[in-house]
Structure 1
Amino acid sequence: MSPDLVTLGSVRSAAVVNEEIRALWARGGGQLGTRALRAEYERLVVEWAAAVQAERLTEAA
């Protein structure tokens, strides 16, 4: 996610994204066997990392 999106506050919280990741794993039966599930997981992990970074920056300010 670009720094501009983080600055604008468009990042969901890490906790919210983490719950979506957990739900994705549950839907996949604990596996990411399809290309679509893997792509969604990768997108969510990138979003989660951006959210963690944004939250750390907010806490440090």
Structure 2
Amino acid sequence: MSPNPGPRAAVRPAAAVNEDIRALWRDPRVGLTDEQRAVYERLLTEWAAAVRADVVTAA
């Protein structure tokens, strides 16, 4: 494994990802389809990466 991981992918701001999550799941009383759940899980992963990037930037 190379000591230099290479260029990082651009990370969208956590607020932008959060907006997508809210748009996807407008009513938490209504369950998501399997396809929507897959998108939701991808968005959660993206949101977590954005939060980590914000913490690293602030440090």
Question: Secondary structure at the residue paired with 1:12?
Answer: coil
Number of residue-to-residue matches in the alignment: 54
Moved over 6 A (4+): none
Q: Which residue of 2 aligns with 1:40?
A: 39
Q: Which runs of 5+ in 2 are unaligned?
A: none
Q: Which residue of 2 aligns with 1:15?
A: 15
- Residue 9 of structure 1 deviates from its aligned partner by 5.7
Percent identity, aligned pairs only?
52
TM-score (norm 1): 0.75
Give the 3 Å change call, closer, same or farther, for CA 8–57 of structure 1 in structure 2. same
TM-score (norm 2): 0.78
